[in-house]
Amino acid sequence: MELRPLLLAVFLVLAMGAVSANAARVVWSGLVIAENVPQPAPIPPELTKLEQTLKDLFGYNQFEVIGQSDKTLKTGQEDWLANSKYFGLHVDARGENDAGYTLSLKLYKENDVLLETDANLSKSSPLVIKGPQVGSGQLLLVLVVKDDEVVRRRRHAEPANPITAGWYRLRRIIHNVLP
Amino acid sequence: MKTFEEKWTAWLDGQLSGKELTEFEASLPDLAAAEAEKRDALKLGAFLKEQLAAQALSNEEFFSHQLHERIAHDTRDRHRSTSTWWTIPRLVWSGATALALFVITTVVLMSQHPAGEQSEYLTQILNSRVDPAANPNATIYIFESKNDNKVTVLWTEGLQTLPADYAAK
């Protein structure tokens, strides 16, 4: 008799975890000029987590955002544009999957398409594209999936769902252990 | 030289014989009364012997019964203190069940992520193209950063260099 409320509670916890896991996300897309300057400006906040990786990869000491877009994805089918004066990055989201979003990217230089690519952008793995050399610097395209602000606030207010967190941790461990 | 009491006791016990018996019985003032007293003493002796023997047997049985009760009680206690739900067969079954659950979980997890497929925790580049007319020597490489950020990098080489003006916001 006491098993039924327990099962109901477990179901509700799992359902809440599933809802929070599939909540809306924000994709940040940026056009970044990387260059070496005597006195580098602080890195933009969107790139703070990637600072060391970008420095290691490209060898520049300053990363300046010349165009950006924060797009909240609700259906996973949205498209948007991150523009600078001469460059435009058009992103066309073509659906959401377990890992993240399927995106079609086009880098424009004025009206010319410089680069096209399709990618599955993971929620936990940023994408960095090395573009053309611009003067003494380098154009970089950066795409990062961020948590939606509401989700982030709720996560700060509420502790993580231990069952779903444990489930994801277990999956990660098994994936790491088994090739 | 025996006293009269010693001879009397020996006579009652039937231990006098021969000349000693004859002399003692002759010394008695009333042989018939003495014989009657002897019979009574023998009867009393036989009765006491019988009663004492019966009582001793009864105690033995009682003691034996108590001892059996105590042994049975101790055995029950010992059996109760060592008995547990985790018997050997149940341990074996529990271990087999846990192993089966682990295998099932592993198979389920593996089937959700087929071997050889790129990890869902990394961004995947499905395809990429550079305009060959404008950048005939362009090449594209894809790799992942080696640090914790799990950055997927699409690295192009040979793209046309642009003037610094293009870095304008």
Report how many domains make up chain B.
3
Residues B33 and B50 in one domain: yes
* Residue A135 CB-density burial (10 A; 0-12 exposed, 13-18 middle, 19+ buried): middle
Residues B90 and B131 in one domain: no
B158: chain A residues, CB-CB within 8 Å: none
**How far away is chain A from the Cα of B152, in angstroms, using its nearest Cα?**
5
The reported pLDDT for the residue numbered A3 is 56
The reply to whether residue B129 touches residue A116, judged by beta carbons under 8 angstroms, is yes
The reported pLDDT for the residue numbered A10 is 59
Enter the tokens of residue B125.
């580049």
Residues B122 and B97 in one domain: no
Q: Would you say the C-alpha torsion A57, A60, A66, A71 has a positive or negative sign? A: positive
Taking 80 as the threshold, does the pLDDT of residue B57 lie above it? no
Residue A167: give the domain boundaries: 9-24+148-179
Interface pTM (ipTM) of the complex? 0.73
pLDDT category, B162, cuts 50, 70, 90? Answer: very high
Q: A2 in a domain, yes or no?
A: no
Residues A116 and A160 in one domain: no
Q: A3 in a domain, yes or no?
A: no
Nearest neighbour of A124 by CB, restricted to B135, B144, B150: B150
User: CB–CB of A83/A67 below 8 Å?
Assistant: yes
**How far away is chain B from the Cα of A159, in angstroms, using its nearest Cα?**
23
Residues B31 and B50 in one domain: yes
The reply to whether residue A99 touches residue B121, judged by beta carbons under 8 angstroms, is yes
Residues A81 and A103 in one domain: yes
**Which run of H or of E encompasses A29?**
strand A25-35
Residues A121 and A89 in one domain: yes
Nearest neighbour of A120 by CB, restricted to B124, B160, B164: B124
* Best of A115, A118, A144, A168 to mutate (most B CBs within 10 Å, chain B): A115
Residues A48 and A20 in one domain: no
- Can you name the residues that pair with B31 across neighbouring β-strands? none
Residues A67 and A118 in one domain: yes
pLDDT category, B108, cuts 50, 70, 90? Answer: confident
Q: A1 in a domain, yes or no?
A: no
The reported pLDDT for the residue numbered A6 is 63
Nearest neighbour of A132 by CB, restricted to B125, B129, B159: B159
Taking 80 as the threshold, does the pLDDT of residue B157 lie above it? yes
Residues A137 and A154 in one domain: no
Q: A53 in a domain, yes or no?
A: yes
d(CA B84, CA B73): 19
- Can you name the residues that pair with A113 across neighbouring β-strands? A108
d(CA B38, CA A56): 130
DSSP structural state of residue B62: H
Q: Regarding beta strands A62-73 and A79-83, do their DSSP bridges make them parallel or antiparallel, or are they unpaired?
A: unpaired
The reported pLDDT for the residue numbered A1 is 45
A113: chain B residues, CB-CB within 8 Å: 131
Residues B8 and B76 in one domain: yes
Nearest neighbour of A125 by CB, restricted to B106, B150, B166: B150
**How far away is chain B from the Cα of A136, in angstroms, using its nearest Cα?**
7
d(CA A29, CA B169): 15
**Which residue would you say has higher pLDDT here, B108 or A85?**
A85
Residue of chain B with shortest Cα separation from A83: B169
Q: Would you say the C-alpha torsion B87, B92, B98, B104 has a positive or negative sign? A: negative
> What average pLDDT does the structure give for chain B?
84
- Give the three-state DSSP class for B15: coil
The reported pLDDT for the residue numbered A89 is 94
Task: Of A155, A129, A125, give the one whose Cα is nearest residue A141.
Answer: A129
The reported pLDDT for the residue numbered B81 is 62
Residues A31 and A112 in one domain: yes
Task: Of A73, A159, A136, A134, give the one whose Cα is nearest residue B160.
Answer: A134
Report how many domains make up chain A.
2
A127 CB neighbour count, 10 Å cutoff: 27
Taking 50 as the threshold, does the pLDDT of residue B49 lie above it? yes
d(CA A28, CA A146): 7
**How far away is chain A from the Cα of B134, in angstroms, using its nearest Cα?**
8
d(CA A172, CA A176): 6
Radius of gyration of the CA atoms of chain A, in A = 20
Residues B59 and B20 in one domain: yes
User: CB–CB of B156/A131 below 8 Å?
Assistant: yes
Task: Of A6, A19, A3, A26, give the one whose Cα is nearest residue A164.
Answer: A19
Taking 70 as the threshold, does the pLDDT of residue B91 lie above it? yes
Residue B164: give the domain boundaries: 118-169
User: CB–CB of A122/A102 below 8 Å?
Assistant: no
The reported pLDDT for the residue numbered A121 is 92
Select the highest-mean-pLDDT range: A86-95, B26-35, B119-128.
Answer: A86-95
Residues B76 and B14 in one domain: yes
Low-confidence ranges of chain A (pLDDT < 50): 1, 16-21, 150
Residues A92 and A170 in one domain: no
d(CA A71, CA B142): 25
Residues A30 and A15 in one domain: no
Nearest neighbour of A132 by CB, restricted to B112, B120, B162: B162
Residues B113 and B164 in one domain: no
Residues A127 and A42 in one domain: yes
Residues B51 and B108 in one domain: no
Task: Of A119, A115, A116, give the one whose Cα is nearest residue A132.
Answer: A115
